[in-house]
Structure 1
């Protein structure tokens, strides 16, 4: 089958012409014995090449040579061909094609060569390369085919392509595929559809407290529910990453898009049953943007869906909100607020630290003052800390804001004749980032305040994001001599676990329990239990939000040690700031 066939003769013909050319170069031709051995060597080399080679007679397109590798590969796919491997010589090349007309056209004209193609035979894929064999003068002699079975390679390429465009955890299309699909739909004339931007509520807490394995299992179940709700060829569901999903829906009007979003929010608000008897309840906030009403450019549409999503979260979570011009105005206002806050921090202007006393119930003395940051905007006036601290956390300004408060608080405390401690609240964002401890050390060094007079207040929820990193920061501060208080106790998710994880110096009972304790026995019971817990642990308990004499009597009766609230003093500016604050708002400095 191999060797001295027509195709082999063709190769020998080429070899002989090369030999003739060798002689014409002025060198001695090989002796006849060497020439014969050279031909045999060439044929053996050709037959044993690790590449599958096949030649075809140019006029009839009959196979006239195949090497051993070709034979071996053909035997692997004989069940897909109308002939056997031993019958290839003299067979038409058409056996490899169901519709051979195009292939015949390519092979019959050397101007079409070289040519590459992939041919599918049943479950197998052949990678084919056809090149022209020319003589010494460049005249076309015949086509030569080299080929290989690349089924596994093609499957691997498909797998790689799939993974490049799909989320490995849920199997949904990923952000790259979403962007491509969105651009294609927007490029369609008269495009009309809706974009739903879905973000899970409470997922981060599950991930942080239950572990990533549980979080991943939850995400898979979320994806399954979304698939059920989006089981329509006209709907595209993708996982953008983390706990964010996007849905392209044919609903291009407000009511149907909102109804679809509300069904999704309701479905994701139902409990999820996971392995190991985990029953978890989260929720979903959804932002809606419509095409073309809210934009026809990808970036604009995504930005507006994102604005609507944040509005849904601000309005209570677990709901859907559609983009409106008001939201865009609010986003622009937020951007301007970020810029103003940055400028205020850079210039150290318009920012103040007020102090509210914490009083010992038995001696009546002020034991500490809590530092509370305040900002007077040049145009908007006093801005609520709940608003601008949140902005600082989200735009990366929380560290410089925290440094400002620490510095001012420590300097102010050095001027207090009663030697009271100063308590500074720490944002969850500041913990575990290796920035808090250096900031505290710098503030103490700059002011000269003894570390023992500084108390750092941290909430339970602040520890949930990166508990180990947060605990390490608190331990480092404790080694410096700084006191650590657990703020808003009772409103978090794992209070007793945190008390076991870290030896706090104080427990501050959230003011909501104190405020309702007179009317609601269960709130009074919480105050009593926390006060008793503090006594048993040797930790001082502070009742926050004490505004009336009746509330004071109750927390005293329940065993609290210290109190904080309007009854004993409102937040007041530092002595150095009283004059400036008085000019801005005289009522704030009335004692």
Structure 2
């Protein structure tokens, strides 16, 4: 009867869908294997030195290159139960070992239940990779990058530097050329980061969107600054693939060091982000190391943003001043450049160099530009000399398909003839999305609006831009004009541009003419028109003069009290 029960039990185990084996704890030979075990062995026989039919009586060591650890485990019931996952070539096996004991508690030997889990492991690895890495670029995601920082912080005497990178101009490419092109650019950015950060101790991550990060496991200033410079140069090189050529973006970088700038993940990341904010505010394409005072600057900038938004609601403290552009020989006013001015009730007059970048980064630039454009067209209608009015447009407003409609609206509302309006564009705008800028220029020209290239000579490819675009006017940057008196190279640039303008039939304007010496030099070099303090400083329209004079009187009185 007992033999019958044992036979019945073995048949049941043989037919179980679970692979079962027993092992002699003394010599580690396999004493029993059910049919499911043999079926699984047949699937992996090519990886083993045995066949399924010879499994019983074979040492359990055949599953391990280094079986010493396995032997120690299965020979002592105190180590059991035990679970393990082992690799056998490309296959993964799950093992669970339990102790078989007699009625009196004596250890009879280990029993193994096991399975081939290669597919399950592959699925787990895919899920883990999705949880740890960015699917688009293959770089570590934000969570993984933070874990790297945590691991570094846990090391005694740690030093490190964390770089936060944000792509300058990427949004324009993404919005105007489509997300497919934007994704391709992000993959190229990731490849360039891998090339620059190829040292084995550097870690790279994509934090989200167009933000990336680099972990440098030391805080050596020279190495950090060298790396930052390399990153700015590499990511600022043109991007070309398929039909998309010479797309230009850049990067700004904020750097925080530990332990100097913080000793927690939150502190380090937030301070690297603050440094990034300051780098972008400084003109982009730059890197900045965190300083404690930066937090105060950012809070001030946020207050300024809120105040500018409030000013745009009422328009009471926003003004448009005008500076004439005159014929260099007759001094006839040919145009007046519209320049926005903002009076802040507590801080006084805010420099455009301070609030224009705030408007651009906060999305207020469209509202501000609309105010200036409408006001300029309306004011120009009252000018008896019927001079043209020149209005600067931000780089962010080119290439998104809305500029022509904005100009058409301002002309229709004011009644200003299109030929009396000049739209000024800096070379910075031309670096964002060349094909889309061409489309904007074509629409403006069809309206009859003139286009001027402002600050010529300060961009990256001025002569190429003159070849690609049809300009009606070239404005030579004031830095060349001022230095032309003492520096022959600057004088040569002024002359070359003036000569080029004559050949192209384009008016050339010398900006920043402040002294008689400046005037004489640009006349010698052949410029067509001039603009600067020597002729006249920017000033308000007659309708605004009483208010501006009262503001200045109040400011003088306030200063006197101080």
Q: Report the TM range for the smaller structure's normalisation.
A: 0.7 to 0.9
* 1:84 aligned residue: 51
Equivalent residues of 1:456, 1:485 under 8 A apart? yes
Q: Equivalent residues in 2 for 1:32-111 (5 A)?
A: 54-55=19-20, 62-66=32-36, 69-79=39-49, 83-88=50-55, 96=63, 98=67, 99=70
- Pair 1:249-2:217 in alignment: yes
8 A Cα contact 1:444 1:451, kept in partner: yes
Give the aligned partner of residue 520 of structure 1: 487
Equivalent residues in 2 for 1:155-166, closer than 5 Å:
158=125, 161=128, 165=132
Q: What is the number of residues matched between the two proteins?
A: 508
Are 1:148 and 2:116 an aligned pair?
Answer: yes
Shift of 1:286: 6.2
Residues 1:380 and 1:58: Cα distance change in structure 2 (over 3 Å): same
Is it true that 1:197 corresponds to 2:137 in the alignment?
no
Match of 2:270 among 278, 300, 303: 303
> Which of residues 247, 253, 258 in structure 1 aligns to 2:221?
258
Structure 1 residue 307: Cα displacement: 2.8
1:502 deviates by 1.9
Select 1:468's aligned residue among 425, 431, 435. Answer: 435
Q: Secondary structure at the match of 1:575?
A: coil
Tell me by how many angstroms 1:266 deviates: 6.8
Cα separation, partners in 2 of 1:267 and 1:523, compared to 1, 3 Å: closer
Q: Of 282, 290, 293, which residue of structure 2 is paired with 1:323?
A: 290
CA contact (8 A) 1:307 1:328 kept: yes
**Range that drifts further, 567-576 or 152-161:** 152-161
Deviation at 1:247, TM superposition (A): 2.4
Deviations 1:426-464 (A, max 9, x none): 111111123323322222232222222211000122101
Q: CA deviation at 1:406?
A: 1.0
Offset from partner CA, 1:359-390 (integer Å, 9 cap, x none) = 12354322211111111111111111111111
Gaps of 5+ in 1: 1-5, 15-45, 47-51, 132-142, 252-256, 277-281
Query: Which stretch shifts more, 66-75 or 297-306?
Result: 66-75
Q: Does 1:449 align with 2:416?
A: yes
Counterparts of residues 92-491 of structure 1 (less than 5 Å): 96=63, 98=67, 99=70, 118-121=85-88, 124-127=91-94, 147-148=115-116, 150=118, 154=121, 158=125, 161=128, 165=132, 173-184=140-151, 188=154, 193-197=159-163, 199=165, 223-224=194-195, 226-228=197-199, 238=205, 240=207, 244-249=212-217, 251=219, 257-262=220-225, 264-265=227-228, 287-291=254-258, 294-309=261-276, 311=278, 322-491=289-458
Shift of the alpha carbon at 1:540? 1.8
Identify the residue that residue 499 of structure 2 maps to in structure 1.
532
Normalised by the length of structure 2, the TM-score is 0.74
Structure 1 residues 286 and 66: alpha-carbon distance in aligned structure 2, compared to 1, 3 A threshold: closer
Work out which of the two has the higher radius of gyration on C-alpha atoms and give 1 or 2. Answer: 1
| 1:182 match: secondary structure | helix
Structure 1 pair 403–553 and aligned structure 2 pair: CA distance change class (3 A): same
Unaligned residue ranges in structure 2 (runs of 5+)? 1-6, 25-29, 99-110, 175-180, 241-248, 556-562
User: Secondary structure at 1:417's aligned position in 2?
Assistant: coil
